[in-house]
């Protein structure tokens, strides 16, 4: 068992014997009604997938729904009503949905699954309202927004549980692998190679939508709204590299381009970046997001006493050297190209989302609050470092990136869309 397994069993044992006491200021309920009430802000595929998991895996209740678009709100209500009815008074639509949800007295926490550009604004409102929060990655799309999230994290410290969507850090195979690496199983790490190869993410045509509405509907294609593929999607492998390296890169060089993409957006189709970590450890990242029905993600680290591999699906472990180890449940079957779109993971990530969901809900119930704002911002900034290097075609240092205070503007006035 991992440490999280042991902790959860102790928690469940205490709950079963009636020893779990919920402080009213942590969860607005009573010992007889201790279910954590969650509001889902952003009712797309990933938001619905994770929120459903919070109900099934962690015993939460989805008590409020918010989205910019009526059709997504209606679809989400129909879905969650099959689990537990959502009161119509707790349906919030439009550009002020996040403020109305934050002000609701019918929820204890909010799961933010809106386009990344809006994450800092939505996160700030939820924390200011005194509600626990789970914010999807990335926490921001530019340097200024990442810094803002760090400041929001300081406001929440010790008062609220603030999680960020890096669920792989709780997947049992990865937890055990990283523990072994940190204990020296690879010897001295000399270099690494990571990749995130994904096919094109298809979206509906929306023939009657205005250009601005299309940007919002298809934010996954939009550089400003998403942060580009390295910040929005590839950030998962960047975060794993940071986890293994116990820190963030100090410099990056890179390249990339849009060749191969057919959508009307402006995101790149591929990135090739080399990050330099402390002690002159170089880690390469290659990524794509185009084509059909293909997916593969992996991180390999090469040390003086072995090599580690951590694919989403396939053989995960430490090979060569004096401390070989393979995760027993690793499978060889690769997932389909649609594997990453909603986060319906399998194999090595089968328990990633359930463990993350249980951990967040339990932190609220027990008062053992999480604060992952700094972690979320640091991993986002690491991906931005690689993005900036690729955009500019030159080496960019961490200090230079932070000093730039880069701030992107969407040019979208949401009020005019109502």
Please state, in angstroms and rounded to a whole number, the distance separating the CA atoms of residues 148 and 122. 12
Q: Check residue 328 and give its pLDDT.
A: 79
Q: Is 361 inside a domain boundary?
A: no
Q: What is the DSSP letter of 108?
A: S
75 and 211 both lie in a single domain: no
Based on the number of CB atoms within 10 Å of its own CB, is 8 exposed (0-12), middle (13-18) or buried (19 or more)?
middle
Please state, in angstroms and rounded to a whole number, the distance separating the CA atoms of residues 387 and 38. 34
Given a cut of 50, whether residue 124 has pLDDT beyond it is yes
Range with the poorest average pLDDT among 57-61, 71-75, 201-205, 255-259: 201-205
pTM for the model = 0.89
Percent of the chain beyond pLDDT 70?
88
Neighbour-count burial for 124-153, b at 16+ CB within 10 Å, e otherwise: bbbbebebbbbbbbbbbbbbebbbbbbebb
318 and 205 both lie in a single domain: yes
Render pLDDT for 306-357 as a digit per residue (tens, 0 to 9): 999 999 999 999 999 899 999 975 444 444 444 444 445 458 999 999 999 9
Render pLDDT for 136-167 as a digit per residue (tens, 0 to 9): 999 999 999 999 999 999 999 999 999 999 99
In the chain, the number of structural domains is: 2
Please state, in angstroms and rounded to a whole number, the distance separating the CA atoms of residues 186 and 173. 16
Angstrom CA distances, 177 to 9, 15, 37, 184, 316, stand at 22, 31, 34, 11, 8
Please state, in angstroms and rounded to a whole number, the distance separating the CA atoms of residues 256 and 272. 6
Q: Is 399 inside a domain boundary?
A: yes
DSSP H or E stretch at residue 162: strand 162-164
Angstrom CA distances, 164 to 56, 138, 213, 219, 365, stand at 20, 8, 27, 20, 18
Render pLDDT for 225-269 as a digit per residue (tens, 0 to 9): 999 999 999 999 999 999 999 999 999 999 999 999 999 999 999
Q: Is 366 inside a domain boundary?
A: no
Given a cut of 50, whether residue 12 has pLDDT beyond it is no
148 and 211 both lie in a single domain: no
Residue 195 forms beta bridges with which residues? 286, 298
Render pLDDT for 365-398 as a digit per residue (tens, 0 to 9): 999 999 999 999 999 999 999 999 999 999 999 9
157 and 277 both lie in a single domain: no
Give the residue numbers spanning the domain of 331. Answer: 169-344+372-404
Domain finish residue from 167, 191, 211:
167
CB within 8 A of 175, min separation 6: which ones?
2, 3, 4, 169
Q: What is the mean pLDDT of the chain?
A: 90
Given a cut of 80, whether residue 73 has pLDDT beyond it is yes
Q: Is the dihedral of CA 263, 266, 267, 269 positive or negative?
A: positive
């Amino acid at each position: 068992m991992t440490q999280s397994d042991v902790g959860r069993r102790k928690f469940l044992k205490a709950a079963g014997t009636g020893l779990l006491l919920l402080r009213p200021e942590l969860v607005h309920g009573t010992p007889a009604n201790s279910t954590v009430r969650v509001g889902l802000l952003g009712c797309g595929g990933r938001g619905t997938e994770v929120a459903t998991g919070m109900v099934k895996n962690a015993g939460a209740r989805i008590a409020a729904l918010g989205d910019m678009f009526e059709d997504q709100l209606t679809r989400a209500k129909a879905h969650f009503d099959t689990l537990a009815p959502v009161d119509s008074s707790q349906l919030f639509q439009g550009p002020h949905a996040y403020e109305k949800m934050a002000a609701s007295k019918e929820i204890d926490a909010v799961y933010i699954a809106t386009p990344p550009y809006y994450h800092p604004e939505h996160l700030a409102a939820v924390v200011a309202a005194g509600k626990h929060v789970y914010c999807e990655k990335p926490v921001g799309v530019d340097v200024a927004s990442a810094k803002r999230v760090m400041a929001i994290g300081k406001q929440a410290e010790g008062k609220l549980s603030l999680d960020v969507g890096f669920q792989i850090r709780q997947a049992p195979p990865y937890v055990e692998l990283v523990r072994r690496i940190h204990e020296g199983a690879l010897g001295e790490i000399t270099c690494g190679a990571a990749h995130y190869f994904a096919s094109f993410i298809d979206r509906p045509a929306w023939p009657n939508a205005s250009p601005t509405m299309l940007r919002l509907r298809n934010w996954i294609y939009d550089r400003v709204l998403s942060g580009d593929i390295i910040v929005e999607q590839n950030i998962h492998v960047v975060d794993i590299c940071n986890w293994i390296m116990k820190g963030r890169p100090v410099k990056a060089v890179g390249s990339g381009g849009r060749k191969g993409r057919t959508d009307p957006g402006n995101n790149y189709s591929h990135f090739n970046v080399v990050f330099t970590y402390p002690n002159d450890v170089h880690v390469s990242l290659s990524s794509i997001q185009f084509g059909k029905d293909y997916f593969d993600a992996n991180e390999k680290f090469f040390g003086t006493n072995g090599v580690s591999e951590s694919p989403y699906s396939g053989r995960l472990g430490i090979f060569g050297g004096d401390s070989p180890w393979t995760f027993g449940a690793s499978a060889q079957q690769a997932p389909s190209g649609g594997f990453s779109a909603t986060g319906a993971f399998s194999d090595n990530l089968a328990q990633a989302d359930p463990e993350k969901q249980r951990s967040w809900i339990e932190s609220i119930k027990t008062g053992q609050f999480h604060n992952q704002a700094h972690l979320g911002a640091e991993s986002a900034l690491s991906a931005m470092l690689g993005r900036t290097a690729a955009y500019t075609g030159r080496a960019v240092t961490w200090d230079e990136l932070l000093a730039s205070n880069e701030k992107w503007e969407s040019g979208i006035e949401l009020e005019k869309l109502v």
